């Protein structure tokens, strides 16, 4: 993988440590976890024990005190395990759940949820999407009605990563009777709260080792203390949260694409037809060269945006560009790689099929291509 000036020697050392861990403790189990359609929760505790979940969080909340780029390195290196599902499950914890808890959580929330999440002692999930509200976040219907010192939550959440095993869910809800972006408030709901249940574990095409749930809240009572951020400001909190989540998706997608390309380069030099390795055919060499160029361009865009985030900026247009371009590039690489493997690419025994299935999610989750284009175009065309 080519480097960039944004990483210093300390970053390189962290990268080496994470890679060694992933290759030794995760990669050998990836096939088995994919088959079982679940990776063990002990992955979270082990990552927490090693300090990897809190790399880019301050020490006072239980993190390691590193900068944002340490998180980018974790996202990239997790892909070395060859299971997008494992990388996704861990990424939801580090780049969807924890950023919100850290940015808008009260001291009490930070102690009760953020610290154990960074230590890998509690697993979290984030529930934004509903059966009838996906791209249009402001149309969510889950309600939270105040009742004394508690709120009573009713509604459903759909496609929630880590939702089956999560110890707590961050739930985006609205005041009854409110509509649009107004009246949206977020709560942290513990799994044993009465009225909280996992209604279904969903069957997916890819990211098999991650668990994806439909969650149900029926008169689920949460203490007012569990409100995350400001009352009525939930929509804006979520719009902020989506920014680091999208860059995480972009970075993971390109790290996976690079691994896939490297494997494919090896394959085309080993597979012979018509008396020579298929990688000697110009039509194949040139397409590989194009893919390598697109991966490099996407990675450098991601690093540029990561540098901005590291400096405290969250530029929605550039983040959306990075997510759009990286997701599309990863899918293109995955599709071409299957083609270069021929019939073997369609067989379960090679990881190339998993990249093909896993990478498809990145064009949908965390905001679809079409929504990225909408965000970008809004800043271009008045
Ligand atoms: C495996 C998986 C894991 C997920 N994990 C989580 C999670 O942990 N938490 C969570 O909250 N959500 C999660 N999601 C949900 C994900 O974020 C949504 O699927 C995504 O935002 C799209 O919403 P939707 O599926 O309802 O599609 P829809 O919004 O119904 O979109 C359908 C199609 O219409 C297009 N479309 C919609 N609006 C427009 C528009 N204005 N202009 C042009 N085209 C438009 C979309 O781009 C898409 O092509 C996950 C999804 C999957 C599949």
Specify the DSSP class assigned to residue 26.
I
Could you tell me if residue 13 is inside a domain?
Answer: yes
Report the C-alpha gap between 238 and 330 in whole angstroms.
26
| Residue written as token pair 């694409």 | 257
Q: Do 202 and 277 have their domain in common?
A: no
Q: How far is CA 236 from CA 75, 209, 230, in A?
A: 25, 31, 10
Q: What is the pLDDT at residue 58?
A: 97
Give the contacts of 102 (CB within 8 A, at least 6 positions apart): 57, 61, 110, 114
pLDDT at 1 exceeding the cut of 50: no
Going by alpha carbons, the residue nearest to atom 12 of ligand 1 is: 129
Q: Are the CB atoms for 15 and 73 separated by under 8 Å? A: yes
Q: Which helix (H) or strand (E) holds 219?
A: strand 212-223
Catalytic residue set: 245
Residue nearest to atom 7 of ligand 1 (CA): 160
Q: Identify the bridge partners of residue 214 per DSSP, sorted by sequence position.
A: 200
**Sequence-separated (6 or more) residues with CB below 8 Å from residue 79:** 87, 252, 255, 256, 259
Average pLDDT over residues 123-147: 98
Please give the average per-residue pLDDT across 280-297, as a whole number.
98
Mark whether 250 and 355 lie in a shared domain: yes
Tell me whether strands 168-174 and 124-127 are parallel, antiparallel or unpaired: parallel
The answer to whether 152 and 219 are in contact (CB under 8 A) is yes
Which DSSP symbol is given to 122? S
Residue 5 has a pLDDT of: 80
d(CA 238, CA 243): 9
For residue 156, give the 3-state DSSP assignment. strand
Residues 338 and 245 in one domain: yes
Average confidence (pLDDT) over 340-349: 96
The candidate with the shortest Cα–Cα distance to 101, out of 241, 213, 219, 264, is 241
Cα 4 to Cα 54, 257, 301, 302, distances in angstroms = 23, 18, 11, 11
Distance 229 CA to ligand 1 centre (A): 24
pLDDT band at 382 (very low <50, low <70, confident <90, very high): confident
Of the candidates 258, 261, 336, the residue with the CA atom closest to the CA atom of residue 302: 258
Q: Domain range spanning residue 153?
A: 125-231
Q: Calculate mean pLDDT across residues 86-109.
A: 98
Percentage with pLDDT > 70 across the chain: 99
Query: Last residue of some domain: 231, 246, 270?
Result: 231
Does 2 have pLDDT greater than 80? no
Higher pLDDT, 1 or 230: 230
Residue 206: pLDDT over 50:
yes
- Is 67's pLDDT higher than 60? yes
Asked if residue 91 and residue 148 are part of one domain, the reply reads: no
CATH code assigned at 177:
2.40.110.10
Query: Is 216 contained in some domain?
Result: yes
Query: Domains in the chain: how many in total?
Result: 3
- When the pLDDT of each residue in the chain is averaged and rounded to a whole number, the result is 97
DSSP three-state, residue 313: coil
In a domain, 153, yes or no: yes
Query: Which residue is it, tokens 């050392």?
Result: 13
CA 129 to ligand 1 centroid distance, Å:
8
Arithmetic mean of pLDDT, 20-39: 97
Same domain for 320 and 367?
yes
* Ligand 1 pocket, residue 379 CB under 6 Å: no
User: DSSP letter at 123?
Assistant: -
Q: Is the pLDDT of residue 229 over 60?
A: yes
* Ligand 1 center from residue 363 Cα (angstroms): 9
Residues 41 and 81 in one domain: yes
253 and 178 in one domain?
no
Q: What is the pLDDT of residue 4?
A: 66
Q: Is 370 in the pocket of ligand 1 (CB under 6 A)?
A: yes
Question: Which whole number is the average pLDDT over 178-206?
Answer: 97
Q: CATH number of the domain at 79, please.
A: 1.10.540.10
Same domain membership, residue 250 and residue 208 = no
């Amino acid at each position: 993988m080519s480097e960039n000036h944004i990483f210093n020697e300390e970053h390189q050392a962290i990268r080496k440590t994470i890679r060694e861990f992933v290759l030794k403790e995760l990669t050998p189990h990836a096939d088995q976890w994919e088959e079982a359609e679940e990776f063990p929760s002990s992955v979270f505790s082990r990552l927490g024990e090693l300090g990897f979940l809190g790399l880019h969080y301050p020490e006072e909340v239980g993190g390691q005190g590193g900068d944002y780029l340490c998180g980018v390195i974790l996202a990239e290196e997790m892909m070395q395990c060859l299971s997008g599902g494992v990388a996704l499950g861990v990424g939801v914890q580090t780049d969807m759940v924890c950023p919100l808890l850290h940015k808008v959580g009260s001291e009490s929330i930070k102690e009760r949820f953020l610290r154990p999440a960074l230590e890998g002692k509690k697993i979290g999930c984030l529930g934004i999407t509903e059966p009838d509200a996906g791209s249009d976040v402001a149309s969510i219907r889950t309600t939270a009605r105040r009742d004394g010192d508690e709120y009573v939550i009713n509604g459903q959440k759909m496609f929630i990563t880590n939702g089956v095993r999560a110890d707590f869910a961050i739930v985006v809800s609205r005041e009854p009777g409110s509509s649009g972006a107004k009246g949206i408030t977020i709560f942290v709901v513990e799994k044993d709260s009465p009225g909280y249940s996992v209604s279904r574990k969903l069957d997916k095409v890819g990211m098999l080792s991650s668990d994806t749930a439909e969650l149900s809240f029926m008169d689920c009572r949460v203490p007012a203390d569990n409100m995350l951020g400001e009352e009525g400001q939930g929509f804006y909190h979520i719009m902020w949260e989506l920014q680091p989540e999208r860059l995480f998706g972009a970075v993971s997608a390109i790290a996976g694409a690079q691994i896939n390309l490297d494997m494919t380069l090896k394959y085309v030099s080993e597979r012979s037809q018509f008396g020579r390795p298929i990688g000697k055919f110009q039509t194949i060499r040139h397409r590989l060269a194009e893919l390598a160029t697109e991966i490099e361009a996407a990675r450098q865009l991601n690093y540029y945006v990561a540098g901005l985030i590291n400096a405290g900026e969250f530029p929605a247009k550039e983040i959306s560009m990075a997510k759009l371009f990286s997701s599309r590039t990863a899918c293109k690489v995955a599709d071409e790689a299957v083609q270069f493997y021929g019939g073997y690419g369609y067989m379960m025994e090679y990881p190339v099929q998993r990249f093909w299935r896993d990478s498809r999610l990145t064009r949908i989750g965390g905001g679809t291509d079409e929504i990225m284009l909408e965000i970008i175009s809004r800043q271009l065309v008045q």
